[in-house]
A and B are shown apart, each in its own frame.
Chain A
Amino acid sequence: MVEVFNNFLGGTITLFSDPIGILIFVGGVVGGMLFGAIPGVSMLTLAAILLPFTAHLKPEHGIMLFSVIYCTGVYGGAITAILFNIPGAPENAPTAFDGYPMTQKGQAGKAVGAAVMCSAIGGTVSAVIMMIATVPVAAWAIRAFGPPETFALVFFGLAVAASVGAKTLWKGWLSILIGLMIAVVGLDPVGGIERYDFDMPYLLAGIHFIPMILGFFAVSEVFVQAEKKVTGSYEAPKMSVDFPTFKELWSHKIAVVRSIFIGFFCGILPGIGATLAAFMGYNEAVRWSKDRMEFGKGKIEGVISSETANNAATGAAMIPLLALGLPGGALTAMMVGVFQMHDMEPGPLVFINSADLVWVVFAAMFFANLSIIFIGFMETKTIINLLRIPFQFLAPLILLLATVGAYAVRGLTIDIIVMFIAGVAGFFLRRSGYSVAGIILGLILGKIGEQTFAQAMQMLYFEFSGFLDRPIAFGLLLAGVLTLLGSIYGAFFKKQPQQQPE
């Protein structure tokens, strides 16, 4: 531990004794937050723009810049998710489930404050674990966790998803199934078989979840509010900059710890990352809550769980990258490019050949997560004033941002069409008591689940009994089945409180 502390101290001194390094650090923190907050124009966009320029930076500056953008970019998308129901990135979608209803209730300050604090806590703890245990954790993760375990994890997550935001359990399950069905459009992820493309080449790429998220959340919300405006029942969101008190946050300490664990765990799995982390963090908050039917209606625990988990995945995603050279997602894959531009390769040798660089990056990620608290609270008081914009001006702005965001994902017009179809469908589904959050959960987890199930079956030689030989996978599947049975029992034999549709 002393050696870790000394290395961290050395990295910190190197980082803050170099004016150029400080400039790049601050630029990365602010740039990540800004680009993370704008839908479609994500931190990945910023990273792609900056990638060629990193060739002219020192290696430690280039890699540090990307790691800082990663930390603050994941947080940035929470602001628009909470204030306008527009998640800046997929990993912020669960934040909108409860964050936006809180804004409608006049609790925007509490929601943003919780997102700021929990993003910082999740990211900082993750950075500390990254510093202490990168090499052993990475080695354990890739040995213990293959496609069967990832599939079991997704199944475990889906088992509770029906509780999120629907009027009844059955409508919750139907919502999940709609999401799962949408997830199978396009080439199948393993054999490359064409499905439900109706001879339209663009559908071969599948229905991307970002236009769906923007349609179901942002566009349908504009329709809902427009209807209220027309019928005279519209009420502007109440302004509030009341941050959550320490006591309020402390009362959710278990949710925070649980989400750190989940986020970190999802983050270290190559190719999984922050999106699954946020959804799993949210789902587990629902699973363990006494009043789970309140989720999706403005429960602060939903924001806390999602934002803690997605930022906890940032430090964790650096572990397989640095220890093994395995990038966890698109941004960490670009970091491989930064390494290569400087004739370096991430992997075990980095700790031997470039230990100084590694510790500058570790220190930068630690302080970037801490800086979320200060910059987050400073900007929040300004950003919340956006809620003062009258609806007739705000609505077109939201539609414009959502349209840009949907198109920016792949540069395909069909994504804009999908977004508006989802917007109209979301408008009616919400009125009918179905859960648009459940559909998104089904879509995102369904894509991961289908792929890992097919890989798992190949790996287990198409024998289901192979799951029994893998304790983690078996345990997760068993827990998922028990959750399912419990919810079915509850639906039949316990009196459920009647829920209002979203």
Chain B
Amino acid sequence: MFKKILVSTGVVTGAALFSASSVFAACATDSLPATMEGPGGFPERALTMIVPYGPAGGSGQVAQAMAEAVTGHTKVSINRDHKPGGSGTVGMTAYMAAPADGYSVLEHIDDASSAHALDSGRPNPADDLIPLVTSQITFSQIYIRTEEDRFTDWDSFVAWVKAQGGKASIANVSKEGSMERVTMKFITDATGMEIQQISFDKGAPRYGALAGGQVDALFEQPGDVRNFLDAGTFKPILTILKESPEAFADVPNLVDAGLDFEPLLRFRGFYVHKDAPADRVKWLQWAFQKAYCEQSYQDYNESKFMTLIESYRDTAGSIELINNTVAQYRDVYKVMGLEVK
């Protein structure tokens, strides 16, 4: 059903499937100059990074890791200003109201792209902002408890769910138009499964729901449940990519499972206002892109399973990623019957 509208976005995931080893052998921004003089002494004071989520979650952590990496190689301090709420809307609004002088940068995730796809009145991260770097791109998987005996793999899971007549459940973040809900629609349409999605906006209750048997499966990204995977509590039964990353070579991917749709990716990046002075933007691009290859940042990404597929995009790559994502969501929303403004 969605095949036709999603073919155009195959480049998004195709380009993402670099091998992790190539990233480490020669990091993406190694060729950038080691130092760069700021225009007119810029920055003369600390930068402010607006983070539209709390400090303890994935966005808060990547903001901290990137800020430390930038400070590490430029010696410029970055104050993180967390403005959580409204699925990132509050932070975005606050950032758009901040002076476009290059001293304020924004961290945001793919939610900004999906929000713009649903309502073009919301800022477009590729047009209204200039992406400095996309530093995390990851994929989703479906997990079950390792000790589960009602089903043990994707095929038996699908068969079991179908046999329950709609009385099966999966924990995710199933807000309207979210990547999780859209992806689950792809999967249920393709398999004929009827499964109840239970929406948990925080990670811990979501993971606890699976660990405690309150739900039958979990939709999540591997970095967020790495400790459960390492401890052997959860196991993935489906990788929502067309090619399996080496670390999950034994887990069926979309092709193996006979699911023909383009996967949606989760990505996090850093932005500056489009009206910021061009010379300052150039320095910020250098500072953030160079920071991506700082050892501290690479270690952080590795700890979060963010090196399984290529996580790096420069400004042009980020714009392409965002534009493709917006187009993909917009087409899907129309098919889903959502009102696209």
Contact = CB atoms under 8 A, between A and B. Distances in A.
A and B form one complex: yes
Contacts of A141: 212
Contacts of A412: 83, 90, 94
B185 interface: no
A1 interface: no
B296 to A, nearest CB: 9
A495 interface: no
Given A271-B205, A324-B208, 13 more contacts: A142-B214, A147-B214, A191-B176, A270-B208, A320-B204, A324-B233, A325-B231, A333-B204, A336-B227, A347-B231, A348-B233, A459-B169, A459-B215
Interface of B: 54-57, 61, 64, 68, 81-87, 89-90, 92-94, 166-167, 169, 174-178, 196-202, 204-205, 207-209, 211-215, 226-228, 230-231, 233, 303
Interface in A325-380: 325-328, 330, 333-334, 336-337, 340, 343, 345-349
Contacts of B68: 52
B86 A142 contact: no
B87 A326 contact: no
A459 B198 contact: yes
B26 to A, nearest CB: 25
Interface residues of A, number: 52
B56 A333 contact: yes
A325 B205 contact: no
Interface string A115-146: 00000000000000000000000000111111
B332 to A, nearest CB: 16
Interface in A41-55: 44, 48, 51-52
Interface stretch (A30-38, A201-209, A308-316, A381-389): A201-209
Listed residue (B61, B85, B176) with the most chain A CB atoms within 10 angstroms of its CB: B85
A376 B201 CA distance: 37
A43 to B, nearest CB: 13
B94 to A, nearest CB: 7
Contacts of A193: 176
Interface stretch (A98-106, A155-163, A182-190, A282-290): A182-190
B230 A326 contact: no
A452 to B, nearest CB: 9
A190 B199 contact: yes
Given A192-B178, A271-B204, A334 B56 contact: yes
A483 interface: no
B56 A330 contact: yes
The 8 closest A-B pairs by CB, nearest first: A205-B85, A142-B212, A192-B175, A204-B86, A345-B227, A333-B56, A146-B214, A270-B204
A153 to B, nearest CB: 14
A320 B215 CA distance: 18
